[in-house]
Amino acid sequence: MPDPTLRVAIVGAGPAGFYTVQHLLQQRGHDVQIDMFDLLPTPFGLVRTGVAPDHPKIKAVTQLYHRLATQPEFRFFGNVEYGKHLSLQDLRDHYDQIVFAIGAQADRWLGIPGEDLVGVHSAREFVAWYNGNPDHAHDAFELDTPAAMVIGVGNVAADVARILCRVHDKLAVTDIADYALNSLDDSQVRSVYVVGRRGPVQAKFSPPEIRELGELVDAETSIPEHDFDLDEYSRQELDESGVNSELRRKYDALLELRERREPHKHRRLILRFQLSPVEILGDEQGRVRAVRLERNRLALGDDGVVRPRGTGVFEEIEVGLVFRSVGYKGEAVPELPFDVRGGVLPNQAGRVYDPSDSQAVRGVYAAGWIKRGPSGLIGSNKACAKETVDTMLADLAAGTVDLAPLRDPEDIDRLLEQRGLRFVTYQDWIAIDAAEVAAGAGQGRPRVKFTERDDFLRIASHGAPRQTVGS
């Protein structure tokens, strides 16, 4: 008698989830049926809602995900939220193993006075807004101010600053949300400050992101000369990195922006280093009016890491809009243990466990940022997912997870329908995708995104037949 089919639920339809699908389909020990759930009505996670619209090449990875999603062993259930529409017990009743690949859904705070003022936002929210995430389509940002500040010196901060400074013609040929394009056209922001606590050597920008900042059509990008005063530890780190290292390329790219002057341009993008925000200052109406910053010096800590130390010298920069971009973090997952400090599901090689007794949570696994924290690029999730799948297969081999011999795969469809939920299948997504691409074709754009859940569900209800197992 053949072994029963391994049935796996994956919660989260981003890169980590799809690489988990890839490795499950590549293994040869078990027949497998995979159902993927996502709270958004669209697949691909941050590739759709996080990658900047002017970075289309990065989005090409969805071609691989599409090939995986059209395999007969795979089904997609969009517009389904774990913890709201489905419980852990629901998933256990229908699947042998459950993988959480939900990413990092929150952002880190600065922990300074004034973060609750009108005009203070997370970069994550702004990115979701201009990328057409339906949960952020009605967010509002104070673009009627002459100056904005982005706190953080990583690639997300660079994306936010670049989008604020892009001219209409450069954004109008992308898949940026229409409402965002219109709002940015009306933006009064003319100066954008990007601020980091440490020096240029420690900045997390990648060299290509820096070069893009220097190539903006209508924004003068510069760094004050004194922000390039390197401490001995940074200079040593730079010297030891080698002439062809990424660190050297990053530093050289930043050097090209030092004291740059392009007076014919209408916007200014200023990168500042060795400054820590200590307070966001507000006006009488509770709106941001300035950020107070302390000048830092860098010192080597006991752990060998160069850290900023305040000097007692302060300055204020007048801005009316502030974005914090100091990192994402995971949120607690209903019914599962959670590492609050790390912002992850506690796990060993992807196997979720309860720290209170060090026992594995039977049949539950993690992949991606909710497993390891918000680090790495899209491709970093491939090895991460493989480790998790290897652990899942090892548990099957060890008998710590049993395959249920009798399960009707259509039961989950019926359960969701009984609960009155309108879910989006992958066949529905193909219809949605075609409609978006067709709308963009007449405008010279890759697509025009739908941004309201009702629009996604309207297309889905008139789209392809419902998915079936093995279809």
Confidence of residue 3 (pLDDT cuts 50, 70, 90): low
pLDDT tens-digit series, residues 283-295: 999 999 999 999 9
Q: Is 135 helix (H, G, I), strand (E, B) or coil?
A: helix
Confidence of residue 228 (pLDDT cuts 50, 70, 90): confident
- pLDDT of 433 over the 80 cut: yes
Confidence (pLDDT) at 309: 95
CATH for 109-326 (3.40.50.1100, 3.50.50.60, 2.60.40.1120, 3.40.50.720)? 3.50.50.60
Residue 85 CA to residue 177 CA, distance in Å, equals: 28
The order of strands in the sheet holding 347-348 is: 74-78, 32-38, 6-11, 97-100, 359-366, 351-354, 347-348
Confidence (pLDDT) at 79: 97
For the chain, domain boundaries: 6-105+329-461, 109-326
Do the Cβ atoms of 74 and 100 come closer than 8 Å? Answer: no
Confidence (pLDDT) at 470: 52
pLDDT tens-digit series, residues 332-347: 999 999 999 999 999 9
H-assigned helices in 269-398: 369-372, 380-398
Residue recorded with tokens 């243990």: 337
Confidence of residue 461 (pLDDT cuts 50, 70, 90): confident
- pLDDT of 464 over the 80 cut: no
- pLDDT of 110 over the 70 cut: yes
Question: Considering the domain 6-105+329-461 in this protein, what is its CATH number?
Answer: 3.40.50.720
Confidence (pLDDT) at 376: 85
Confidence of residue 402 (pLDDT cuts 50, 70, 90): confident
Residue 128 CA to residue 135 CA, distance in Å, equals: 8
Question: pTM (2 decimals)?
Answer: 0.94
- Alpha carbons within 13 A on the beta-carbon side of 192: 28
- pLDDT of 99 over the 90 cut: yes
Confidence (pLDDT) at 180: 98
* Mean pLDDT of the residues in the chain: 94
- pLDDT of 73 over the 50 cut: yes
Phi, psi of 107 (to 5 degrees): -130, 155
Confidence (pLDDT) at 411: 87
Angle at 200 between CA 196 and CA 202, to 5 degrees: 80
pLDDT tens-digit series, residues 316-326: 999 999 999 99
Confidence of residue 467 (pLDDT cuts 50, 70, 90): low
Percent of the chain past pLDDT 90, that is, above it, reads 87
Encode 298-327: b = buried (16+ Cβ within 10 Å), e = exposed: beeeeeeebebeeeeeeeebebbbbbbbbb
Q: How many CB atoms sit inside 10 A of residue 337's CB?
A: 18
**Mean pLDDT for the stretch of residues 158-179:** 98
- pLDDT of 198 over the 80 cut: yes
Confidence (pLDDT) at 404: 78
pLDDT tens-digit series, residues 25-57: 999 989 999 999 999 999 999 999 999 999 999
Residue 278 CA to residue 365 CA, distance in Å, equals: 40
